Amino acid sequence: MYWPIGAPRIYAASTSKAPRDRTFELDDDAESRETTEGSGSLLEAPSIGGEGENEGLSGISTPVTPMTPMTPGIKPVEHDNQRRFPVRFNGHDTTLSASADNEPLLSLKISRTGHLFAVITSTSLTIWQTKPTAILAVVVRSKKSLSTYGPNVSLLVRPDSAIFVVQTTSGYLITYTLATDPDARVYRPHFATHTSGQTRRQSNFSGARNQGGDRILWGPGEGGGVREVSVRFRMVIKVDAGIGRALALDDELVVATQKPAAVQCIRWTPDSTGNQTSTELFSRMDWMPKKTNVTEMIHDRPMNLSTWITNDGKAYAVQRVSQQKEVDGPQKLFRGYCFHDPETVGGNAVKAAINARFSLIAVGCTDGTIQIYTARDYVGNIPQSHSHKASVSQLSSGRLTCLTYSPDGYCLFAGYENGWAIWSVFGKPGANSFVADRRISEEHEEGWLEGVREATWLGGGSEILVIGQEDDRIWTIEMARSAITGCYSSANISRTLLQTTSNIMVYRGYDLPDLTTISAEASLWHTAQIPSSYLVDQWPMRCSVIAADGRYVAVAGRRGLAHYSVNSGRWKTFVNENMENEFQVRGGMCWHQHILIAATEAGDSFELRLFSRETALDSSMMLHVEPLPAPVVLITLTGDDSLLVYTYDNLLYHYIFTAASGSVKLKKVGQITFHGIVRSPARVRGLSWILPDDQILDGDPSHDVAVATLLFLVDGKLVLLQPSLNEEQKLKYEMRVIAPNVEYYILMRDLPLASPLPLPESADSSNGSPSVQDEGNGLRDSLWIFEGNEMKLWTEVQDVLQSAPSELARELPPMISIPIDFYPMSALLGKGILLGVEPDLVQRRDIKFAFFRFTIRTNLFIPQVLRFHLSRFDSSAALHLAHRYQNLEYFAHSLEILLHTVLDEEVDNPPSPENALLPRVLSFLSSFAEYLDIVVQCTRKTEVRSWRTLFAYLPPPQELFEESLQRGTLKTAGGYLLILHTFEELSSSSEQLVRLLSRAKDEQDWELCKELARFLTALDESGATLIEALEMVNLRSPKDERENSSFLFEGTRLKVPRPTKHSSTTDGSSNSDVDGESSDGHSPMSQGDSKESSPADYFSPQSDITGQ
């Protein structure tokens, strides 16, 4: 779902010092620090703006706003060729320099909204704005502060970014407050001589607002300008017990201490009783073992869950206990459950991340593996789901340094000491930096490839910020995401649509010829830049959707929306900026022909709005507005004219499109409530329903809700809800989870353009093509799921429905598994392929930066489906499916893959005769005209030891050779000649060779004649055998006399072939395999695709293998 794209942007503070009069060092109230006893004492400190005036923590008196330190300059990184980091802090050091130049970054944290992030070095705190990316404030600690409190080691940010906390080596927490003025800006470009006539006309934008004046330099999300902020020292917190780990939450600061081992909760402001701190010893927590310390803590607000990691390598799911007024005994602050208990040292937990979207907890271990657990409830039911492992060894990757899920939960980023890697949510490996050439990376100083200290996501997952090991630069890696991550719809699954920070990318190979579709040409991508007038204020893009026919694309950012025509290349945006800012898309979008349906939220009102692509994007020109009582979770199209809308009040609405007075409107025809069935509507990611065939053809749409079977994708579980009537004749639903760990699913009946090729009008049985009736619908009613490593499918969803009811106690039908080594984006049912994307890291010595690109990958699913049918003795279903695909240019190659796969498996693991699949496959292949070619191609790509297994179920090679000659496929006959030569004595294949040479001469196939001549020369280097053969086919040599007769023909002219009585020789063995290369590397006899880089030659010098 996520792929890095392009080269990263680099940000770093200048290495040149700012003038002394522009830099202000902060003592952090080191002079007035009072020595206090006890753990966790608070030291109230005056504002740095006053001179010795003590300000209370309660905030009764207003602190004086300090003078903000001047921001150091920024200069390009490429001019900074020498980077040294000589200062390393271990304990107390009183001779430290206060300059922050050239010091490596130690920590990176971002606010909840993502508009600010902060980094620290050992002596400074720098606060950045994300868009535009610029430094807002810098706090440089003085020598006195460093000697008193110790250097910085870690950074905490309160989620609302109002308070920043710096942890030091001496056990202090220095807090700073951030004050902002929403209207003040410190930088905004102004062009005094600018006039509207100088604005470049945007010819490909329709309705775009004027981007001239002061806005022409702004990029995505930069319309707000650079904000003005003020950083104020707040206070110092001394933790005498030693800080193991700290965590900044909305209401309090949670600190895990070491001696004694305890957890302290320090409120940002005192509660109603005046208390500000509370403490609980780990030894008094009955769910934790004695004598343990917490080394890592994370918290997830949507799940209201924390994960603690202890020094013994265990991981705990922890929740804060609500305060009780009257409690006997020590107060309990937390309750938790151990869900990761390592059996070996390598399994000790070191890092953790929480995925609220999929209810997962990731635990990174000492050996570099990442164990994933499913949080089913809050009482400790957290079983293991799956695991991730880097593509290199632990020695190459180094220790695990950070784990973070993307905001939508679809991607996991893992930073290592020597690189990084990403995975999809259920385990499909994505891009990684371990494939990089480290020598080139070090030469070009590309720290983002060499190791990661910390990382965090930006812009809803469109970018990721990374700081490296021993590096003072911040790297921003742009990501291309599948549109499914933001808008789960059948169209986004059937048509590949990717979105980046500022572009959309549409794959246009669906309607092209077969061989063009499966090519990896970059020209198959259609890239369009989102209008800058929309990006500048509405970045990041939260939702994008493509039409089912691929003609239109719509995008939605923070507010408003815009849509695009792929054919004309024109965008439409709101002319009126107020109309655009009046609503936001919440719940997704979809296209019905040329009509865009958007689920919107405007204040307290929730609506479905219909926009026409053919009219201007204007609120007054909307086709229809349908009010809703609650926010929308998702919308999806089903059938030809139906729309399903699922809302947060757990109701599913069924609408149909109706034409009224030249316009299109929505008409509600039914609704279903799922109270007591779906516990959390927000966790529903996908929705479909399946109607009985008679209801689709003749039923009343208002009755659809009573007979529809529903598919819900909840977290990662695919849930089936089947309707029935209870004793009171009221509608009820039977629920069954039919698949776990589902990243997405495809119900093929929802994809009108995904049907296989139509059946040919007639089948010519004389040429070997099977003649079957049009029974069934192929894969038109199949259900596909991608579960992280394999694509799986049921060929008939009706079989699943019949097995699903719990009272039947049936097992679900078996699934077809299709292993793939890339991430599949869509299934092209009409072309028999899975289409996906694979990342590729490009490093070149002629350019001083590396960049990522991605390539199209395809995988044929026809062989696996055919094999499934044949393994179940359902040859008719296999023939019917193959008949639908037989017009594909690569259909014969699909059958060859089927034969090759089955043959290899049965050679390595011979089955019992009654369970052998190979004879069924060969019987099936014999129904096709390409049968003889498929067999000979398969032999050319397998070892000789596999041939006997293959021909044990085939007619004798002599018969196949004769049949090839009768059909006129001389090159195929040449392949069987090699098989005859391998299986039999040398003289027994001589007659066939002469006949083949004669036919090739008669048909003037001189390339084949050349290959046969080369083969004879290899058999007899003296050339006598070749001369004899040429004379037999009336191709006489100028030399009439020969010293000896050829050993091949034994001096006899062969004109009439001798009948063969058997096809195989006595038991014999060969010490070498057939070499598939000719002397010149080319053979006109090779047919079909080959795994080698060049076609192989049937007749090669090393092919002289005979039986004993």
> From CA 1046, how far away is CA 1022, in angstroms rounded?
9
The reported pLDDT for the residue numbered 204 is 56
Among residues 259, 337, 317, 334, the alpha carbon closest in space to that of 292 is found at 259
Only one residue has tokens 């409120």, namely: 267
> From CA 354, how far away is CA 337, in angstroms rounded?
15
For residues 729-744, average pLDDT: 90
Whether residue 767 is predicted with pLDDT greater than 50 in this model: the reply is: no
> From CA 527, how far away is CA 758, in angstroms rounded?
32
> From CA 415, how far away is CA 468, in angstroms rounded?
9
> DSSP 3-state assignment of 241?
coil
The reported pLDDT for the residue numbered 662 is 79
Percent of the chain with pLDDT over 90: 59
The reported pLDDT for the residue numbered 328 is 58
Whether residue 501 is predicted with pLDDT greater than 60 in this model: the reply is: yes
The reported pLDDT for the residue numbered 51 is 30
The reported pLDDT for the residue numbered 190 is 67
> From CA 200, how far away is CA 215, in angstroms rounded?
13
Exposure string of 729-739, with b = 16+ CB inside 10 Å and e = fewer, is: eeeebeeeebb
Global pTM value: 0.85
The reported pLDDT for the residue numbered 68 is 32
Task: Categorize the per-residue pLDDT at 97 as very low, low, confident or very high, splitting at 50, 70 and 90.
Answer: very low
The reported pLDDT for the residue numbered 763 is 41
Q: Pull the structure tokens for residue 554.
A: 């719509």
Residue 173 CB contacts under 8 Å (≥ 6 apart), including other chains:
156, 165, 166, 167, 236, 237, 239, 243, 246, 253, 255
The reported pLDDT for the residue numbered 156 is 97
526 versus 290: which is more confidently predicted? 526
Mean pLDDT for the chain overall: 82
Beta strands in 676-803 (DSSP E): 684-690, 709-714, 717-725, 731-739, 744-747, 783-786, 790-794
The reported pLDDT for the residue numbered 1036 is 61
Lowest mean pLDDT among 579-593, 882-896, 1094-1108: 1094-1108
The reported pLDDT for the residue numbered 676 is 85
The reported pLDDT for the residue numbered 85 is 38
> From CA 490, how far away is CA 827, in angstroms rounded?
11
Query: Please, what is the angle between helix 891-908 and helix 862-871, to 10°?
Result: 50
Contact 546, 552 (CB under 8 A): yes
Residue 502 CB contacts under 8 Å (≥ 6 apart), including other chains:
219, 220, 529, 530, 532, 535, 539
Contact 817, 797 (CB under 8 A): no
Question: How far does Cα 546 stand from its chain's mean position?
Answer: 19
Among residues 224, 203, 103, 115, the alpha carbon closest in space to that of 160 is found at 115
Task: Categorize the per-residue pLDDT at 326 as very low, low, confident or very high, splitting at 50, 70 and 90.
Answer: low
For residues 603-621, average pLDDT: 94
- Hey, what's the torsion of the CAs at 609, 610, 613, 618, to 10 degrees? -50
Contact 749, 783 (CB under 8 A): no
Whether residue 1037 is predicted with pLDDT greater than 60 in this model: the reply is: no
Whether residue 1041 is predicted with pLDDT greater than 80 in this model: the reply is: no
Domain ranges in the chain are: 486-527+538-569+585-750, 929-1108
Task: Categorize the per-residue pLDDT at 266 as very low, low, confident or very high, splitting at 50, 70 and 90.
Answer: very high
Contact 1060, 960 (CB under 8 A): no
Only one residue has tokens 């957290």, namely: 382
Task: Categorize the per-residue pLDDT at 329 as very low, low, confident or very high, splitting at 50, 70 and 90.
Answer: low
Lowest mean pLDDT among 209-223, 544-558, 700-714: 209-223
The reported pLDDT for the residue numbered 1100 is 41
Residue 1075 CB contacts under 8 Å (≥ 6 apart), including other chains:
1100, 1101, 1102, 1103
Residue 824: how many CB atoms within 10 A of its CB?
A: 25
pLDDT digits (tens, 9 = 90+) for 854-875: 899 999 999 999 999 999 999 9
Only one residue has tokens 């790297």, namely: 475
* 226-238 β-sheet, strand order: 41-44, 226-238, 172-187, 163-168, 152-157
Task: Categorize the per-residue pLDDT at 322 as very low, low, confident or very high, splitting at 50, 70 and 90.
Answer: confident
The reported pLDDT for the residue numbered 17 is 55
Only one residue has tokens 């392949």, namely: 975
- Using CA atoms, how far residue 973 sits from 894, 969, 1081, in Å, is 21, 6, 20
> From CA 564, how far away is CA 550, in angstroms rounded?
11
Q: Which CATH class is domain 486-527+538-569+585-750?
A: mainly beta
Give the residue ranges of DSSP H helices in 84-132: none
Percent of the chain with pLDDT over 70: 79
The reported pLDDT for the residue numbered 29 is 76
SS3 content of the chain, % helix, strand, coil (to 5): 20, 30, 45
Identity of the highest mean pLDDT range in 14-18, 761-765, 883-887 = 883-887
pLDDT digits (tens, 9 = 90+) for 824-850: 999 999 999 999 999 999 998 889 999
Lowest mean pLDDT among 710-719, 784-793, 1039-1048: 1039-1048
711 versus 660: which is more confidently predicted? 711
Beta-strand relationship, 172-187 and 163-168: antiparallel
Question: How far does Cα 847 stand from its chain's mean position?
Answer: 28
The reported pLDDT for the residue numbered 751 is 84
The reported pLDDT for the residue numbered 878 is 95
> From CA 792, how far away is CA 243, in angstroms rounded?
49
388 versus 1014: which is more confidently predicted? 388
Whether residue 1062 is predicted with pLDDT greater than 60 in this model: the reply is: no
Strand partners, 786: 744, 791
Whether residue 630 is predicted with pLDDT greater than 70 in this model: the reply is: yes
Task: Categorize the per-residue pLDDT at 1102 as very low, low, confident or very high, splitting at 50, 70 and 90.
Answer: very low
The reported pLDDT for the residue numbered 518 is 82
Among residues 515, 508, 519, the alpha carbon closest in space to that of 891 is found at 515
> From CA 968, how far away is CA 1044, in angstroms rounded?
35
Task: Categorize the per-residue pLDDT at 1044 as very low, low, confident or very high, splitting at 50, 70 and 90.
Answer: very low
